Amino acid sequence: MNAPQMTRNQALVFDVLEKAEGPLSAYTILDKLRDQGFRAPLQVYRALEKLLEYGVVHRLESINSFVACAHPGEDCHSHGIVAFAICESCGQVIEFHDHEVDHRLMGWVRSQKFKPAKTTIEIRGTCEACAA
Amino acid sequence: MNAPQMTRNQALVFDVLEKAEGPLSAYTILDKLRDQGFRAPLQVYRALEKLLEYGVVHRLESINSFVACAHPGEDCHSHGIVAFAICESCGQVIEFHDHEVDHRLMGWVRSQKFKPAKTTIEIRGTCEACAA
DNA sequence: TCAATTGCGTTATGCTATAACGTGTGCAAT
DNA sequence: ATTGCACACGTTATAGCATAACGCAATTGA
Ligand SMILES: [Zn+2]
Ligand SMILES: [Zn+2]
Ligand SMILES: [Zn+2]
Ligand SMILES: [Zn+2]
């Protein structure tokens, strides 16, 4: 999925996510866009839905938050499963990919004749900087 | 974490999960336990919190639901990262483990000096029986 | 022009999860 | 026995996350 042309709302939401230090919840995004005329959650969720489709934003299932893709231009859909390490102390997120992990999971999936649609890999813990 | 002795509420919640065909939300569990005297979400969430500690229940982050461990007696904490394949059609969940995946992820984590606390691997898609 | 599609705004609602307070019970130290 | 603590429990209220349903406006393509 390639981004055709972002609408105003999509661009505003994406901009907020790109400039953020870490992942943001939909309601946090909403608050940051009140001055630009955002009034309701749906404005954010509808924009996010498209940005997820375009592959320029990722959803972190384990913390109900969203983050801009760390590999712009590479088209995350093409480089396999995306994994995230989430620091529960500072909120920083590291996005990475591991082809061997993809390979093992897809092997298992094949062996079960399971048809994967969306795969989530999220490691929550403490980043190096935050380590005690 | 080994289960010392379940309280009444914990046993009721666990029983519901064990007898269920698939994962259940906290509120669905609540509804199923109204006849046993459950009135409020906290009764369910508090029981779930303990059951998760004991390792006899897993939380599926991507669908905000809970499922009884498919490998009773093995102590899921001991056999590494737990992964789930979730059929979005019939709701069935397959719990599995792959040491190579663990190994790769833990290798990455070490290389980043990231300290993992809890890792989520969830594959949403369609199971063999539900395939078109 | 007409119909279909898409984005948008608004209101209302539903689902998920926790805060805060108080009660009762079991158990150990004094 | 009394005191203090830990823990489970019950209840009410609130916070946080997400979508349904309606109507309007702009775009596009037949
Ligand atoms: Zn990405
Ligand atoms: Zn950190
Ligand atoms: Zn398990
Ligand atoms: Zn199925």
pLDDT digits (tens, 9 = 90+) for B70-97: 987 766 566 678 999 999 999 999 999 9
DSSP 8-state symbol, B24:
B
Give the pLDDT mean for B32-61: 97
For residue A40, give how far its alpha carbon lies from the nearest alpha carbon of chain B (Å): 23
Token pair of A3 as six digits: 């981004």
What is the overall mean pLDDT for chain B? 93
What is the overall mean pLDDT for chain A? 93
Confidence of residue B26 (pLDDT cuts 50, 70, 90): very high
Confidence of residue A80 (pLDDT cuts 50, 70, 90): confident
**Closest residue in A to B107 (Cα–Cα):** A98
Same domain, residue pair B20 and B64: yes
* Its pTM surpasses 0.85: yes
Nearest residue to A107 via CA among B104, B77, B22? B104
Question: How far apart are alpha carbons A69 and B95 in whole angstroms?
Answer: 29
Burial of A78 (0-12, 13-18, 19+ CB in 10 A): exposed
CA of A92 to the centre of ligand 1 (A): 15
Q: State yes or no: pLDDT of A119 exceeds 70.
A: yes
Find the Å distance, CA of residue B34 to C1' of nucleotide C12: 28
Same domain, residue pair B62 and B91: no
Same domain, residue pair B84 and B55: no
Q: For residue B5, what pLDDT is reported?
A: 87
Mutate to test the interface with A, among B58, B98, B121, B124 (most CBs of A within 10 A): B121
Residue with the larger pLDDT of the pair B119 and A75:
B119
Query: Which of B98, B114, B122 has its CB closest to that of A125?
Result: B114
For B6-35, b/e burial (b = at least 16 CB within 10 A) is beebbebbbebbeebeebbebeebbebbee
As for how many domains chain A has, the answer is 2
Residue A73 covered by a domain:
no
Residue A34 sits in which domain range?
8-68
